[in-house]
A and B are shown apart, each in its own frame.
Chain A
Amino acid sequence: EAGVVQSPRYKIIEKKQPVAFWCNPISGHNTLYWYLQNLGQGPELLIRYENEEAVDDSQLPKDRFSAERLKGVDSTLKIQPAELGDSAVYLCASSSIAGAGEQYFGPGTRLTVT
């Protein structure tokens, strides 16, 4: 079974530029999560999808961050414009059970904003 796929693995951009991350969850997993992980910290939830519906985006900075999950499969997380403080690892995860069950994580995208 293929795991959660994310791309790109690394991204370096200048501040004020836009950036997008892509995630393909495990086949059949209806729940998809985007997390932010700062250096030396654990992941923090940005947004959670149940199929194509965002059911929790309370931690998503909506002035610059946006996400979509068309057709309830792949998802894209966008930042526009990026700020220096956005430098972090962006993790995507999926699960077959909604809520606080076991989650399967992708390798993440390491973003560096210069």
Chain B
Amino acid sequence: SQQGEEDPQALSIQEGENATMNCSYKTSINNLQWYRQNSGRGLVHLILIRSNEREKHSGRLRVTLDTSKKSSSLLITASRAADTASYFCARGTSGGYNKLIFGAGTRLAVHP
């Protein structure tokens, strides 16, 4: 079963606009990761943020993590049509055995 929620479930924007996706979780984490999945393709790792980090950047991507609120957000700036995809957050569990638990994803559509 999925643990954690992503919000919104779907997002539709115009090229050039910013897109923000949110992820919440319930238990402690070691890290939180974001992945992208294009139609018909496998998942591609975008960014990993550790539990002791608050913000991380990678190109047009900015990820924040608030462990007190158990939430993370992914911001894509100046979106392009090629950003159209599903975006998944995955929490890396803490404790003796680390595993990734994925959310249900946000489906982003960027219109030219």
Contacts and interface: CB of A to CB of B under 8 A. Distances in A.
Interface string A39-57: 0111111001000000110
A55 B33 CA distance: 22
B interface SS class? strand
Interface string B37-51: 000111111001000
Interface centre among B97, B100, B104 (most CB of A within 10 A): B100
A101 B99 CA distance: 8
Given A45-B100, A98-B98, A106-B42, 8 more contacts: A41-B2, A43-B88, A48-B99, A55-B97, A100-B93, A100-B99, A107-B42, A108-B42
A42 B33 contact: no
Interface in B75-110: 88, 90, 92-93, 97-105
A103 B101 CA distance: 12
A91 interface: yes
A70 B33 CA distance: 30
B45 A42 contact: no
Q: Is the interface of A mostly helix, strand, loop or mixed?
A: loop
A44 B102 contact: yes
Contact of A91 (B33, B40, B42, B45): B42
B64 interface: no
A56 B96 CA distance: 12
Contacts of A4: 42
B102 A43 contact: yes
Interface residues of B, number: 26
A41 B43 CA distance: 13
B67 interface: no
12 contacts: A42-B2, A42-B88, A43-B43, A45-B100, A45-B101, A56-B99, A99-B97, A99-B99, A100-B30, A100-B93, A101-B98, A102-B45
A3 to B, nearest CB: 8
Given A41-B105, A42-B90, A44-B2, A99 B42 contact: no
